[in-house]
Amino acid sequence: MATFGNLSARLTDTFAKLRTKGKLSAADVDGTVREIRRALLEADVALEVVKDFTGKVRERALGDEVNKALNPAQQVVQIVNDELIGILGGEQRRLEFAKTPPTVIMLAGLQGAGKTTLAGKLAKWLKDQGHTPLLVACDLQRPNAVTQLGVVAEQAGVAIYAPHPGNTGVEGDLTVGDPVRVARDGVAEARSKHHDFVIVDTAGRLGVDAELMKQAGDIRAAIDPDEVLFVIDAMIGQDAVATAQAFQEGVDFTGVVLTKLDGDARGGAALSIRGVTGKPILFASTGEGLGDFEPFHPDRMASRILD
């Protein structure tokens, strides 16, 4: 994973300087914290998250656990590791299952974030565990989206519920149907055909807009999902915070999926999103292939950053 390359290198340099010292003075700690702060800001981590993070690291680094440690520098690295796990969400958060199937998962996010691709990945991942997911195509905005979800469903070997051209009222036109109705009918179809998961793909726009939010909010209200996953491209850097906040207000998502973690992102979105929204990251998407997908583990991500 190329992500965090720069951030990792900066932190490694900082810790290398620290290792040449025995006991650490307050000035050593302050210098280290300053360098960590700069590295995080350069990685596009949100300012409030950086402040909170460096405040915690500083307080602990000046305390007894470092003072009394046999290897103070190593102890500081340990503290940074712990606090990174903290801002990434602490414990791994697993998918919530409905008490009575089907478990309904709604996907939301900007166009191009990787929602449709993710729908296929998630469906395959569930299928590989013996589940019987149904994909529901509610992105009736982008002309090709329904077809694209059909391709993804076929690759994943799972069923799809999609409006037929005739259903929209305009022959051959997939962009005119009512996405709220399709979502509701899709969930009903899953129930009647005994699918234990439903994954509802919704429309994205290039930027956050009121109409998109209203539609996503209406779909949420109509199908009462067990999970609403906000899909966000890890490459979008500083914009991640404002986008996430807009979606949080608009659809009140329950969890986050980070996509394109294989790209050359600076890591800011990954490190900011939990702190800014308070919502856990559930999955990470790391490529275009159906298998490039994994549950998100805060501790593993922290280790990658500090590698």
**Tokens 């810790």 identify what position?**
15
Among 109, 250, 275, 298, binds ligand GDP (CB under 6 A): 109
Report the alpha-carbon distance of residue 63 to residue 292 in Å, rounded. 42
The response to whether 113 counts as a known ligand-binding position is yes
Closer Cβ to ligand GDP, 54 or 215, answer by number = 215
Residue 189's region, left for phi above 0, alpha for psi from -120 to 50, else beta, is: alpha
Quick one: 54 or 116, whose CB is closer to ligand GDP?
A: 116
> Which residues, including other chains, have CB under 8 Å from residue 272's CB and lie 6 or more apart?
44, 45, 46, 49, 240, 241
Q: Is 207 known as a binding-site position?
A: no
Binding to ligand GDP in span 111-130, by CB under 6 A? 111-117
Rule CB under 6 A: is residue 295 a binding residue for ligand GDP?
A: no
Distances (CA, A) of 161 to 149, 175, 196, 205: 10, 15, 14, 22
Question: Is 285 among the residues that bind ligand GDP (CB under 6 A)?
Answer: yes
Minimum Å gap between C-beta 235 and ligand GDP is: 9
Scanning 43-51, 106-114, 166-174, 273-281 for contacts with ligand GDP by CB under 6 A, the matching segment is 106-114
Tokens of 144: 């090709």
Q: Annotated binding residue at 261?
A: yes
- Closer CB to ligand GDP, 111 or 132, in the complex: 111
Query: Which structure tokens are listed for 197?
Result: 């998961």
259 assigned binding-site residue: yes
Q: Burial level of 129, CB count in 10 A (0-12/13-18/19+)?
A: exposed
> Is residue 259 at the binding interface for ligand GDP, with CB under 6 A as the rule?
yes
Residue 286 lies near ligand GDP (rule: CB under 6 A): yes
Cβ nearer to ligand GDP, comparing 38 with 297:
297
The nearer residue to ligand GDP, 168 or 286, going by C-beta atoms, is 286
Give the position of tokens 């899953």. 190
Q: Report the C-alpha gap between 214 and 212 in whole angstroms.
A: 5
Beta strands at 197-202 and 103-108: parallel, antiparallel or unpaired = parallel
132 is in an annotated binding site: no
| Amino acid type, 242 | A
Beta carbon nearer to ligand GDP, 59 or 288: 288
- The residue range among 6-14, 70-78, 187-195, 254-262 that interacts with ligand GDP, by the rule CB under 6 A, is 254-262
**277 annotated to a ligand binding site:** no
| Binders of ligand GDP in range 165-224 (CB under 6 A) | 204
109 annotated as ligand-binding:
yes
Residue 293's H or E segment, with its range, is strand 293-295
Least distance (Å) from ligand GDP to the CB of residue 114?
3
C-alpha closest to that of 213 among 168, 248, 258, 261: 248
203, 146 in Cβ contact below 8 A?
no
Number of residues counted as binding ligand GDP (CB under 6 A): 18
Phi, psi (deg, nearest 5) at residue 133: -70, 150
Is 7 annotated among the ligand-binding residues? no
Kindly tell me which of 37 and 260 has the beta carbon lying closer to ligand GDP: 260
**Sign, Cα dihedral of 139, 176, 246, 218:** negative
Q: How far apart are CA 73 and CA 75, in angstroms?
A: 5
Nearest distance, CB of residue 99 and ligand GDP, angstroms: 30
Residues in contact with ligand GDP by CB under 6 A are 109, 111-117, 204, 259-260, 262-263, 285-288, 292
Annotated binding site: 109-116, 201-205, 259-262
